[in-house]
Structure 1
Amino acid sequence: VQQLPPHQISLLFCVFVFFTSTLCFPPGFIFNLVAPPQDLQITDPGLLGVLDIEWKPPPNVQTFNECTVKYKFEYRSAGDRDWKVIFTRKLKFRVGFDLSRTAEVRVQTLLEGTCTDDVEVQSDWIYATFQVPLPGKLESEVQNFHCIYHDWEYLKCTWQPGLLAPRGVRYGLYYWYEGLDHAVQCNDYIQDRGINIGCTLQNLSQAEYQDLSICVNGSAAATLLRPLYVTLRLHNLAKPSPPEQLVVSVSAVEELQVAWSPPAGGTPPHCLEYEVQLAQEEGEAEAAWASVSMQMETALTISRANKSHISCVRVRGRTNIFCADQGFWSDWTQECFSGMEPKVTSVSFTSFIKPVWDQALMAAMGICWCPALGDGILV
């Protein structure tokens, strides 16, 4: 401290005293050093949930030539506990909201540099909210809206009419993602008795790993219907086809060898993980299915040292944690086989050849119960 210039020592002392009493600065001095931004506005460009947020610099920003002026911008939809935070020098942002709820934003000025002796100074917050008009009662909104991104090739969304929807209701689905000039209407509807209850969207590869905004609205004579707004991430809705070319064989040393190929379609092979299930035949009783989790490997070798009689092998896949936060499992493969070995009461997994698995994985395997599948391929 003795090597610092006298004015910096004095400032450090006053800052210390300020946070322990109010001797050096009058109340509010630090926070009044810089004003908050001005004219915070929210506008709707008609992109189904994406709103434009902009503001103007504080009026005294020109007086801080020796400092960097930044902004802390936070936003959320009403009811969310946490704010999404952006630090920026920009004055305008385009962000997505759930338009069924009120959009909330706030901004403050951050000042740091020589003029503050490199201490970050924050202004007060300014706030703004936005709510689109929501006609009709909540019960008139479509129900059970559900979407699946099949094979990373097409998105299929389905819904059911709202509880208050009258006969003859007409539904329309509109979507938008970054790169489109405007919202686009579905051109491939799924119908039931003349009513649109779903939509299939093709060619969405440019929308992967970004927000896809969707609105489903309806119209009916003399009845106001509430629109549904949702924001999707395609990679979290992916469902691949079942793995292909499942081959089960028994080697000369009585090891059970299972191999398969990734499914056809657009699902990236490196984005798949697998689950293998093996059924222990129990005569007329239900079969015990033992599961083994795999990553990107497409082969599994299992020791049969205990002479277990495995009656069926099946495999399914889904998007792994390296490509998505979640996803849907594919359907199971249907191939089964039967063996001629003595029956035992458990299935033993004692050795993995491709790859060599840690023994901790063995202990983590779970058992579930379901009806045994019929015999198929004879081994």
Structure 2
Amino acid sequence: MNGSAIENFSCVIYNIFFMNCTWQAGRDAPADTQYFLYWQKSRDEEERECELYIKDENWRNMGCIFQNVSIGIEKAYFLVNGSSKDSLIQFYDEYIDLYKIEKLMPPSNITVSCDEIKNDCIIQWQRPQISHSNKDMCFKYEINIKYKDNPKRKPIYTSIQEGGNSNIFLRSNTRKKYVLRMRAAGSACFVNPAWGEWSAPVEFGSEEIISSSIWILLGVAVATPLMAIVTIFFCKRTGCWKAAFPQIPGPKPDFFTLADTNPELMESKIQSISSENEEIVIVADLVR
């Protein structure tokens, strides 16, 4: 029956040994159509049916998960056929290079060591793990570096390197902290040429942080002498020193003049005070 074969068949290999294949039901397939997937890694191997199907809400097989998959140099053969009580179902088949559908993992064991004198940093890593090659020459790498405090801006350093497992990054600012990410793609051999997943961010470098308390102390240290200078200048202009610190008046000169010019009058006052004291004592005795 035309239009009953599956559509949009695709497969992806991930995490080295897992493969996930999905498809959609044929546009004209009966409602009771059920699909079955078979695949053959090479001509020398037997055809195997899917062991773990992915089902939709109608319990129809719409995908498959394979485990322990290894990639060879030959194209793998995939076959999806179907069955229905109402009519015959067309089959679908395709040959696929497995290495072309592998989603590469990021480089592993990424480390960054910086020389504080020369300001250069050595980036080192290990190639992504794949099941069919262990050669560094099979990969190319993209390195992406940004400032940590501004990750949304464009990278300050981007490098694409063929093979190898190290790179040198020259820091323009030793007081900044950096964030590095890497990803890999196939450069030769039977490795997928599409870029794989980005690695987790790797931080490196040192960042000088001035605490808020230090900023406060610096502000006080600058503001205090500045306020003193302004106050002195203001008081000189307005004469506020006289209002704030008035002079204490001394004794009147008449007191000293009286004692020096009229000694007889001073002696008379002293005798008067003495006689008054004697009268007070006599009155006190009479009262007793």
For Structure 1 versus Structure 2, the TM-score category normalised by the shorter chain is 0.5 to 0.7
Deviation, 1:153, is 2.7
Q: Is 1:256–2:124 an aligned residue pair? A: no
Deviation, 1:320, is 2.5
Alignment correspondent of 2:216: none
Q: Distance in 2 between matches of 1:327 and 1:190?
A: 29
Deviation, 1:269, is 3.1
Check conservation: 1:280, 1:308, Cα contact below 8 A: no
Alignment correspondent of 2:221: none
Alignment correspondent of 1:179: 44
Alignment correspondent of 1:71: none
Indicate the SS of the match to 1:163.
Answer: coil
Deviation, 1:276, is 1.3
Q: Distance in 2 between matches of 1:327 and 1:162?
A: 32
Alignment correspondent of 1:320: 187
TM-score, with length taken from structure 2: 0.59
Cα distance change, pair 282–158 in 1 and its aligned pair in 2 (3 A): same
Q: Distance in 2 between matches of 1:159 and 1:235?
A: 20
Alignment correspondent of 1:201: 66
Q: Is 1:241–2:108 an aligned residue pair? A: no
Q: Is 1:299–2:173 an aligned residue pair? A: no
Check conservation: 2:139, 2:184, Cα contact below 8 A: yes
Q: Distance in 2 between matches of 1:280 and 1:340?
A: 11
Q: Distance in 2 between matches of 1:230 and 1:318?
A: 25
Name the one with the larger helix percent.
Answer: 2
Structure with higher Rg: it is 2
1:140-151 pair list within 5 angstroms:
140-151=4-15
Q: Distance in 2 between matches of 1:144 and 1:157?
A: 10
Q: Which has the higher contact order (CA 8 A, sep 6+)?
A: 2
Deviations 1:257-296 (A, max 9, x none): 222223345252313332211224674x832134311233
Check conservation: 1:277, 1:313, Cα contact below 8 A: yes
Q: Distance in 1 between matches of 2:108 and 2:194?
A: 17
Check conservation: 2:146, 2:178, Cα contact below 8 A: yes
Indicate the SS of the match to 1:235.
Answer: helix
Deviation, 1:255, is 1.2
Opposite residue 261 of structure 1, the aligned amino acid is Q
Indicate the SS of the match to 1:217.
Answer: strand
Choose the corresponding residue for 1:161, options 25, 40, 44. Answer: 25
Check conservation: 1:239, 1:327, Cα contact below 8 A: no
Q: Distance in 2 between matches of 1:157 and 1:166?
A: 22
Q: Distance in 1 between matches of 2:145 and 2:84?
A: 53
TM-score, with length taken from structure 1: 0.46
Alignment correspondent of 1:277: 144
Structure 2: stretches of 5+ with no match in the other structure = 209-288
Indicate the SS of the match to 1:269.
Answer: coil
Q: Distance in 2 between matches of 1:151 and 1:272?
A: 17
Structure 1: stretches of 5+ with no match in the other structure = 1-134, 342-379
Check conservation: 1:151, 1:267, Cα contact below 8 A: no
1:48-63 pair list within 5 angstroms:
none
Opposite residue 171 of structure 1, the aligned amino acid is Y
Indicate the SS of the match to 1:236.
Answer: helix
Deviations 1:318-339 (A, max 9, x none): 3322334x44433211123265
Indicate the SS of the match to 1:230.
Answer: strand
Q: Is 1:136–2:15 an aligned residue pair? A: no
Indicate the SS of the match to 1:287.
Answer: coil
Quote the RMSD (CA, aligned, Å): 3.0
